[in-house]
Structure 1
Amino acid sequence: MKKNDVVVVSAVRTPFGRFGGTLKDIPSIDLAAMVIREVLQRVSIKGEEVEETYYGTAVIGEAALETDVPARQATLKAGMPADHISVTLDRACCSSLTALRLGYRAIKAGEIDVALAVGADNMSRAPYVIPPDVRWGKRLGNIQIWDGLFELGYKGFNPVSVDAGEVALEYGITREDQDRWAYQSQMKYAKAFSEGKFKLGEELMKVEIPMKKGPPIVLEKDEFPKPDTTLEKLSKLPTVYGSPTVTAGNAPGLDTGATAVLIMSEKKAKGKGLKPLAKILSSVATAITPRLIAAIPGFTIQKALANASVALNQIDLIEINEAFAAMPLVSAKILSNGDPEKMKSILEKTNVNGGAIAIGHPVGASGARILMTLIYELKRRGGGMGVASICGGLAQGDGVVVQVNGE
């Protein structure tokens, strides 16, 4: 045990709800409060023992429906003490892994011993936006209402689906390759679910939604998976937003959910008698030319492995967020240096239980989701090393290398 080694002691998420589904009316802040309570309760840690909370969210318009400081609101709603320190951050889809990285750095620096990383978004509650000049009045002309979810783009830049599709083709990854990966993601998730891998008590918790009349609505499993998907159905879908390859079938949905990961110095965990789920060997951030969003997870994995002094062939499992099917495929090609056999080997251990195309992608929560999915699967396999990587808007990246010990 080295000084200030950092371990994961608890990790949990809500089931992910589909667009317009069961969770559509629940503020992301309330979902975050649920996972905060659960992640602490599982290891009998009190709110006052957590020194800092880092909270990632990416659908800022939805959080703004509750004004601001979602981290502060969620921690208070979860029963954390009034003097608890929290911060809200937005690094697009990277946000919850960025939250983990900031807590990791604070522990490594010796400033604190216990940190909480949270991510939450409800894309179903993303509001339409009226232009700000309407506040000051318009004498003539139409008023345009904006939808921040449409095209999922940034003003002055291409839609992310266009960049991902174009870059995929530049790396030799075809539309057919992406549809095939999407189909496999759905099938792998269906198999994993049938085997009990996505059960309550591991990465999943039960969500109960009180009703004005009658019993609460209960959500115990992800809503987005499509086990009846076929390659034929996927091949008939049109591409979206001008992308050459991306469709609604080889991309995830506009989903809802929350994640939480509790980390500690290894010394603190040992003192509390807690058995770590995993040790964090490195946690890194990256950024690159904005259009290369499909490639950034591969470059991020290279940096994370280098920082951990771990070779790719030492890695047992890989999680790459399926923002689109292009991401794991392009990243695997980068990691394999274009060698077909190496690429095949990399993909065989990537997203082995399916990915965001099946599970869903509530953007601010997904980074922590891929990390806990990785940790729990390594645990089932008796331990090993894994790496998780996620892309964020305009080609940002976050990545984590973890070691899980056997029983």
Structure 2
Amino acid sequence: MECVIVAGKRSAFGKFGGSLKDFSTVQLSQELMKGVLLNLAIAPEEVQEVNWGVCTQAEAKEVIAPIIARQALLKAGLSPQTISQTIDQACCSGLAALKQSYYSIKRAESEVVLAGGAEVMSRTPMVVPALRWGNRMGHMTIHDPAYGIRYHDFNLVSQDAAEVALEYGIDRNEQDEFAYMSQLNWERANSLGKFKAEIYPLVIEGSKKEVIFDMDEAPRPGTTLQKLASLPTVFDSPTITAGNAPGLSDGACSMVLMKRDTAMEKGITPLAEVMGVASVADDPRNIATVPGRAIQKVLKEANLSIDTVKVIEINEAFAAVPLVSSLVIAEGDKEKAMKIREKMNVNGGAIALGHPVGASGARIVLTLMNELKRQGGGYGVASICGGLAQGEAILIKVDP
């Protein structure tokens, strides 16, 4: 039972408080669900299943059990009989949604599945824990969950990732250099029009006129190594700054997966075949290593080596993550790691274009697939880390 990807679109990614701040997660999700189906030769009611990643679910009007995937698919015009899951696996959510869709097709549970994710981090609500039952005396504290995103009973992710990077011999300067290249690579790809094929333009209602939103907002033209070096570290991290980490972002990404036979019957040419998926987890401190370990696992299961892979995407949760994970894949061989990095994130990554956490796992697969097509096909692998050291990877193949 072969699983293929037949369509994929993403929104342009908005910066925190930017153009997408007034979209609810449900609204943004439904727009991308409709958008990915727009030019596909199937009716919306033919979609049998939706798997959708969202982390900031408290943004929804319902707060408790907002079932964002379900609400969005109904508003997007899909059948009420379409089954769905809203998945929160931190930054892994979008890729976990693709994984679940792959499994559903391989198990013959569904033949047409829509997968992806969305996040509107700009709408993260403030929290007042003591408000419900009152405060006998004194001030109440308003918490901002978007400030220094963390798991309060564990170390800060920015501390763990940076400390492990230093243990791997990756210093602040190398992380800044990687961040600089992320910005340059995005600028180069954008100037060549590479993102036009993957971005679904959104109409934003303005006070005077409609605005078409089709350009990522987060990239920083004019970034220099000197500017990056001048930035202070954040949240007690020894190396991580606002420049070598992605900002808070808004955006969505949607893909359609099918059983290959079904696609052929409908006259739809597959864009890529999903060759395998893999999941890993580790001690929370090792979050920067898990994308590398997930890639090793998915390649081993497919009996392939990293040398057979033409393009690699590792999400830039921090610059430390792809740098450490490339060394993990190379088993500590720095020369081999450098060769891996030459084909990794060639169009920039989250440091440049942003990281709407529920969507990023799907976004890196979409970018990977399109780049493989431009390069004449071949194998590609994408991986992402998520909170407390979870990791997901996917291996795809694009025909020449």
Aligning the two structures, in what range does the TM-score lie when normalised by the shorter sequence?
A: over 0.9
State the secondary structure of the residue aligned to 1:331.
helix
State the secondary structure of the residue aligned to 1:401.
strand
How far is 1:117 from its partner? Answer: 0.6
Where does residue 108 of structure 1 map in the other structure?
A: 106
**Aligned with residue 239 of structure 1, among 230, 233, 239:** 233
Where does residue 205 of structure 2 map in the other structure?
A: 210
1:213-224 alignment, distance < 5 Å? 213-224=207-218
State the secondary structure of the residue aligned to 2:158.
helix
Q: Name the Cα RMSD after superposition.
A: 1.1
How far is 1:65 from its partner? Answer: 5.5
Structure 2 CA distance, aligned partners of 1:328 and 1:267? 36
Listed as ranges, the gaps of 5+ residues in structure 2 are: none
Where does residue 144 of structure 1 map in the other structure?
A: 141
State the secondary structure of the residue aligned to 2:236.
coil
Where does residue 55 of structure 1 map in the other structure?
A: 52
Paired AA for residue 346 in structure 2: V
State the secondary structure of the residue aligned to 2:312.
strand
Paired AA for residue 172 in structure 2: R
**Aligned with residue 91 of structure 2, among 87, 90, 93:** 93
Where does residue 283 of structure 1 map in the other structure?
A: 277
How far is 1:210 from its partner? Answer: 2.2
Where does residue 163 of structure 2 map in the other structure?
A: 166
Per-residue CA shift, 1:293-325, capped at 9, x if unaligned? Answer: 111100010011112222111000100000000
Structure 1 CA distance, aligned partners of 2:322 and 2:249? 20
How far is 1:64 from its partner? Answer: 5.6
Paired AA for residue 235 in structure 1: A
Where does residue 266 of structure 2 map in the other structure?
A: 272
Structure 2 CA distance, aligned partners of 1:19 and 1:300? 30
How far is 1:44 from its partner? Answer: 2.6
Whether the aligned pair in 1 keeps the contact of 2:326 and 2:337 (CA below 8 Å) is yes
How far is 1:58 from its partner? Answer: 1.2
1:330 aligns with 2:324: yes
Where does residue 25 of structure 2 map in the other structure?
A: 28
Paired AA for residue 298 in structure 1: G
Per-residue CA shift, 1:123-152, capped at 9, x if unaligned? Answer: 111011010x42122221211111111221
Count of aligned residue pairs for this structure pair: 399
1:79-90 alignment, distance < 5 Å? 79-90=77-88
State the secondary structure of the residue aligned to 2:262.
helix
Structure 2 CA distance, aligned partners of 1:84 and 1:384? 33
Whether the aligned pair in 2 keeps the contact of 1:32 and 1:118 (CA below 8 Å) is no
Paired AA for residue 140 in structure 1: M
1:14 aligns with 2:8: no
CA spacing shift, 1:63–1:302, aligned 2, 3 Å: farther
Per the normalisation by structure 2, the TM-score is 0.98
Structure 2 CA distance, aligned partners of 1:65 and 1:49? 28
CA spacing shift, 1:288–1:64, aligned 2, 3 Å: farther
Percent of aligned positions with the same letter in both sequences? 50
Where does residue 334 of structure 2 map in the other structure?
A: 340
Whether the aligned pair in 2 keeps the contact of 1:151 and 1:160 (CA below 8 Å) is no
